[in-house]
Amino acid sequence: MLSLKPMLSLEQSTRLFEELVGLASLIILAIIFGFSTHLWALSFLLAFAIYIVRNLYYFWRFVSLIRSHDTRPIRAPFGIWGEVYDAYFEKLYQDKRHIKRLRSETKQVQQAMDLLPDMHISLTRKFRIEWVNQSAEKLLGLRQADVGQNVTNLLRQPEMLAYLESGDFDETVEFYVSPESTRRLSAQIVPYFERHYLLIIRDITDAHNLSQIRRDFVANASHELRTPLTVLNGYIELMLDAPDSIPKVWQAPLNQMHAQSLRMQNIIGDLLTLSSIESDNLNVNAGPVNVRAMLTKLEQDAVQLSEAKHKIEFSIETDLGLMGMGEPLRSVFTNLVSNAIRYTPPGGRINVRWFKTDQALVYEVKDTGIGIAREHIPRLTERFYRIDTARSRSTGGTGLGLAIVKHILERHRAKLVVQSRLKVGSTFRCEFPLSLALPAAEVEA
């Protein structure tokens, strides 16, 4: 179907008509001049030159207008150049309205950001400050005069500087406002648009203090429970060592009491271990860790724990060691192997690997055990979380092992990856950053 919409508007038609009238006037003047002087070539040449000079003049005037950035409207010439000038000033007017609307919307967004309790700082890709909200001004002492400065000149906390230098912004970083301050902050960088970062900083002082109170309570309660529990367990063992001195009817209850007291001791031990891992001064024990020697000893312990019920294979594919905390890492490696033995039926296979990839050093434990349903995998590292409570208790599990593993790996900037299928088996991978890798010569005793 043909469109009935006219190709030219009334104003455009008028400008075109003006241009044609002007051109026709020049031609008529050239004819009149030619009749009067009989210099036809010169007449038409002068008419053509006048037309060209007029267009060049308005072209130069238009270019000068653009370069001057003058937004004041001027009287437009007649003809086609009048349409060019009109279109330019119309577009300029639309752009001014668009810019005004954008500024209004930007101002609304900034006012909304100022109302947020969290600190927001917009950065360029080179970490130069573009703007800050009022919360950042109040809590961090930043000012609008700091716009344009590099944020590393103003936030000098070592944790924050290391976070910016790493370039890995998937996780958050925590730090104190100053060495003397008790105010603790959590920061994360989020990319937005193409060349901008948004630095979001939250005050987590209250949450951190509550978490510290909880950890202190767990540690203190565990310490207080350990002594009376040790006394009770000692008397129970004393009675069990003298079976002739107690009635037979008490022997079964005493055995159950002994088993449960040992289980409680294991839970208290794991709670104390978890509290120690969560303490802020754990990293002072970091040093070279000989992973090959550690896994060689672990293989012997695993064979004894299995009691020849499983096919256990250790594959150490690299001599690289780690810069880390020896005993906590031993706990991680041992925990994953003992879990594999505990939840793999007799006759199953357990493969343990230590190898290097392009991205990480990997400790992997793969078994052909009972497996884990998909919905349980995200919650495996929660404290006291059990998939099968009855089975966990019968096998001696406390529900804290994987929580301990998770916290130890976090202290090493490592991550735990779990893959599993019911009745097929599970794979637990500890992926350590290559920055922690040490050559064999530096870890050998």
Residues 304, 289, 282, 366: what is their CA dihedral angle, to the nearest 10 degrees? -50
Does the domain made of 284-443 have the CATH classification 3.40.50.1980? Answer: no
- What pLDDT is attached to residue 353? 94
Model confidence at 428, pLDDT cuts 50, 70, 90, reads very high
- In Å, how far from its chain's centre is CA 190? 7
DSSP code per residue over 229-257: HHHHHHHHHHHHH-GGGS-GGGHHHHHHH
- What pLDDT is attached to residue 390? 47
> What are φ and ψ of residue 147, in 5° steps?
-60, 130
Query: Could you tell me where in the chain the CATH 1.10.287.130 domains are found?
Result: 209-278
Mean pLDDT of 124-141: 86
* Domain 116-203: assigned CATH number: 3.30.450.20
Distance separating alpha carbons of residues 74 and 66, to the nearest angstrom: 12
- What pLDDT is attached to residue 5? 46
Model confidence at 71, pLDDT cuts 50, 70, 90, reads low
Q: Where are the beta strands (DSSP E) in 13-161?
A: 119-124, 129-132
pLDDT, mean over the chain: 81
Query: Could you tell me where in the chain the CATH 3.30.565.10 domains are found?
Result: 284-443
Distance separating alpha carbons of residues 118 and 109, to the nearest angstrom: 15
Domain spanning 209-278, CATH architecture? Orthogonal Bundle (1.10)
Q: 445: helix, coil or strand?
A: coil
Mean pLDDT of 81-107: 80
Q: What is the pLDDT of residues 170-189, one digit of tens each?
A: 788 888 888 888 888 899 99
Mean pLDDT of 238-260: 82
- What pLDDT is attached to residue 134? 84
Higher pLDDT, 41 or 309: 309
How many other CB atoms sit within 10 Å of the CB of residue 142? 22
Higher pLDDT, 122 or 216: 122
Query: Could you tell me where in the chain the CATH 3.30.450.20 domains are found?
Result: 116-203
Q: What is the pLDDT of residues 350-390, one digit of tens each?
A: 999 999 999 899 999 999 999 888 888 888 888 777 766 44
Q: 266: helix, coil or strand?
A: helix
Of the candidates 323, 325, 352, the one whose C-alpha atom is nearest the C-alpha of residue 339 is 352
